[in-house]
Structure 1
Amino acid sequence: MWLALAALVGAAAVTLLVSSMGASPWDGGPSLVEQLLWGAAMTLPLVARRRFPLVVLLVVGAVLIAAQARQVGDNLVPSVALFLAMFSAGAWGQDRTRARWARIAVIVAMFAWLGFSLVQFLVHPAPPFEGATGPLDPVIASVLYGIGFNLLFFLSAYFFGDMAWESARRQAELAHHAEQLRRSQEQNTRGAIVAERIRIARDLHDVVAHHVSVMGVQAGAARRVLDRDPDLAREALRTVEGTARTAIGELRGLLGVLRADQDEAPAQAGETSSPGLDQLPELAELARSAGLDVEHGVYGEPRPVPEGVALSVYRIVQESLTNVVKHADARKADVRVRFLDSSLEVEVADDGRGRSGTAPGRAGFGLVGMRERVAVHGGELEAGPRRDAGYRVRARFPA
């Protein structure tokens, strides 16, 4: 509506200027009021150019020919209106076949009208063409200029209309694919969560439920015979104690498997051992084989570390070195384990480019996993760029 209003105002302004200057190409012509009405008839249909683009194109084209036949003085704004109508037919026509043939029909009609006007121009006595200095005949030059200008005019409207439609179609397809991808990701996420819950529930049942059931039965038996048969009650309680230890050990092994990557899970069903501090040199050697100069050092007096803490330290070092090799573009990395009085500290630092190669807001899941591992044991995690260069990950576990 705003564009049609602007075209209407432009048509009225140009008509007033042309009439005031006496610059009409025709000897006569309609009155000023009739010319203003012709301008309104050519511009107001643009209001519906998106809803009815083909109808607007045909109406504007027909009105333009009728206005020129009536010798309306302004030819600029009607040409702009026709350009917009043809552009809209190409950009907004839902039936692409009809949109193409409607534009071709209007172009053919306009060139037919142009041919008729050129014949009339050639039949009548030619103007004097005062000041003509070019090598071509003025009449031929005028005919070629008219044909070339109209070719450029109509082909531009046709081309830009198709280009706008193609661009809108690509944007719509991208939006559609993005929505499909989002829904697919949501479905995959929900499916993965459900599958993981089922797997954890099944593993917990297999590992824990049997031992807990045995402990319940033995504890009930010990309570019933505690007064009359202390030896039997003592044996039952000893069974409860052993079963509890077995359950705790198997539960730790299960948690280690659940927290580990699938490819790194124990290969054998009965294997429950988890990697720990003793395997850190192997991680360093593996990173060296990838071309990274890794220094591994242990500081302080080593002491026994709980299996869960040792596994968390191992995973943090593993994830950090993997990130250094994949993303940091570093040459050197330091892996330091410190046995402090009140804590166990592990630090991985490199001399790479820090976070400069990572898009903002994309910290990834590795850092989230590190924080989860440290939080389980009541520790702290620090991760960020170093002051000079590179990146540092430091985890601290309370002793």
Structure 2
Amino acid sequence: MPSVNPDEWRRPGPTTGQRRTDVWTGLAAAAVALLNLFIVRHAGFVKSEDVAPLAEQICWVLAITLPLTVRRRYPDVVAVVIAAAFIGGQARGSQEQQVTIGVLFASIYTLGAWGRDRGRSRLLRLTIIGAMFAWLAAVFVIFGGDSVAPAVKASAAFNTFVVNAAFFAFCHLMGDAVWRGVRHGYELEEQTAELRAAHAAAAERAVLGERVRIARELHDVVAHHVSVMGIQASACRRAMDKDPARARTALTAVEEGARTAVDELRRMLGALRASGAPEAGGPAGIDRLPEIAERAEEAGLAVRYAVYGDPVPLPESLSQAAYRIVQEAVTNTLKHARASAVDVRVRYLSGQIELDVTDDGRGGPADGGGLGVIGMRERVAVHDGTLEHGPQPNGGYRVRARIPYPAKAAA
């Protein structure tokens, strides 16, 4: 399945609940920063003659913290405003640093996690981080003091740069990681939708396949029995005056064929009305192949039916397929071959069953061409078997199917 292009994907904007959370977060950060400012001033932790008046410091604190109220709606603007206000406040001697530095880190993280344009988001973050390190360098150069030993100044600068580099890198990488996680979730949602669509398409194909199966079953049942009934009716017509006993036998066969066809059709229609319900009289399987041989004999063919090897219990679907393949092959012999004899052999080989139907008729085209051969080919293909059919060198026509069966059946 195709994944979302990272350069083209845009993260959806924040929800109403997330916007409301941002408002409360910004207000809370502003309140905590102002409280910390008053504590720092009252305790005298930072003593300098260059500090800004209290009102100006309050303005700087609010300028840094309040943009958090819209941080996910406008992450680019918020990050730039907070960074600029942070540098401005530090340059003017604002005494509040603990909360505002956290707000700066939060804005960089938000820009990485919520930036719509990934290229611009990455450029802005790197620019802000570079500006912060430039400001740190300027602070050490301008305000480092000449009374401090060079070694101490170098150690303090190194420690400050390393700690800040770690924090800035963490915020940068965490923002990217969150953005990738959201994009991955979006990909999963798209793939889930595609899977649902594929499932629906598979269901439609299953319905179509079931229709084809029903059509194939109807063709096998109707064609076989009607063919036998037609041949028996023809024999009855010819023997009506000369051999009444034979005519009665033929009519009995026609009656039995009609009854069998009706029973088969009723069984199939019952299965359609109640899917999964047991079929009345049991499904047609390989154990009913002798019935096909008997009906072929009644139709006037000399039939030789034989089973070789030790029979094994087959899955129901494979057993039905074997029955239909032999039934169709014998039906084609009755309808088209003008044969006098047919040889039906069932061989249980190692791991597979072989169905071999050969007649002595006039043969036929090697490609089969008819619906019956197509149905046999489909049944064999479903079970990963092979089908051979075509005229024989010495006359006649042969159909041979080999279908593997599960190992547990052989055991």
Note whether the superposition's TM-score is higher than 0.5.
yes
CA–CA distance in 2 between the matches of 1:194 and 1:259?
A: 22
* Partner of residue 139, structure 1: 153
- Asked which structure has the greater CA Rg, the reply is 2
Report the CA distance between 1:125 and its aligned residue.
3.8
Equivalent position to 1:150, from 156, 164, 167: 164
CA–CA distance in 1 between the matches of 2:82 and 2:249?
A: 103
* Partner of residue 83, structure 2: 61
Residues 1:183 and 2:197 are matched in the alignment: yes
What TM-score results when the alignment is normalised by the length of structure 1? Answer: 0.55
Report the CA distance between 1:115 and its aligned residue.
1.2
CA–CA distance in 2 between the matches of 1:42 and 1:82?
A: 8
Give the alignment's Cα RMSD to 1 decimal: 4.5
Is the 1:43–1:78 Cα contact (8 Å) retained in structure 2?
yes
* Partner of residue 84, structure 1: 106
Q: Helix, strand or coil: the match of 2:73? A: coil
CA deviation vs aligned residue, 1:67-112 (integer Å, no higher than 9, x gap): 1111111111111111111111111112211111111111111111
CA deviation vs aligned residue, 1:292-312 (integer Å, no higher than 9, x gap): xxxxxxxxxxxxxxxxxxxxx
CA–CA distance in 2 between the matches of 1:204 and 1:94?
A: 61
CA–CA distance in 1 between the matches of 2:257 and 2:206?
A: 33
One-letter amino acid of the counterpart of residue 6, structure 1: A
One-letter amino acid of the counterpart of residue 167, structure 2: F
One-letter amino acid of the counterpart of residue 126, structure 1: S
Residues 1:97 and 2:119 are matched in the alignment: yes
Q: Which runs of 5+ in 2 are unaligned?
A: 1-21, 230-244, 269-280, 287-314, 332-343, 352-404
Residues 1:6 and 2:28 are matched in the alignment: yes
* Partner of residue 52, structure 1: 74
Residues 1:119 and 2:119 are matched in the alignment: no
CA–CA distance in 1 between the matches of 2:45 and 2:116?
A: 41
CA–CA distance in 2 between the matches of 1:69 and 1:147?
A: 18
Q: Helix, strand or coil: the match of 1:126? A: coil
One-letter amino acid of the counterpart of residue 160, structure 1: M
Residues 1:32 and 2:54 are matched in the alignment: yes
Is the 1:25–1:73 Cα contact (8 Å) retained in structure 2?
no
Q: Helix, strand or coil: the match of 2:103? A: helix
Residues 1:169 and 2:226 are matched in the alignment: no
Equivalent position to 2:210, from 196, 214, 227: 196
Structure 1 residues 176 and 35, CA gap change in structure 2 (3 angstroms): same
Q: Helix, strand or coil: the match of 1:260? A: helix
Report the CA distance between 1:52 and its aligned residue.
1.8
CA–CA distance in 1 between the matches of 2:36 and 2:406?
A: 72
CA–CA distance in 2 between the matches of 1:260 and 1:39?
A: 78
* Partner of residue 207, structure 1: 221
Structure 1 residues 121 and 34, CA gap change in structure 2 (3 angstroms): closer
Q: Which runs of 5+ in 1 are unaligned?
A: 130-135, 216-230, 284-317, 323-334, 336-399
Report the CA distance between 1:7 and its aligned residue.
1.7
Residues 1:70 and 2:127 are matched in the alignment: no
Structure 1 residues 25 and 213, CA gap change in structure 2 (3 angstroms): farther
Q: Which moved more, 1:163-172 or 1:245-254?
A: 245-254
| Pairs within 5 Å for 1:1-399 | 1=22, 2-24=24-46, 26-122=48-144, 124-126=145-147, 137-208=151-222, 238=252, 241-247=255-261, 248=263, 260=317, 268=326, 269-270=328-329
One-letter amino acid of the counterpart of residue 41, structure 2: S
CA deviation vs aligned residue, 1:218-247 (integer Å, no higher than 9, x gap): xxxxxxxxxxxxx9xx99984663124432
Is the 1:24–1:74 Cα contact (8 Å) retained in structure 2?
no
CA–CA distance in 2 between the matches of 1:211 and 1:25?
A: 110
One-letter amino acid of the counterpart of residue 199, structure 1: R
Higher RCO (C-alpha 8 Å, min separation 6) = 2
Give % identity.
36
Structure 1 residues 151 and 261, CA gap change in structure 2 (3 angstroms): farther
One-letter amino acid of the counterpart of residue 154, structure 2: I
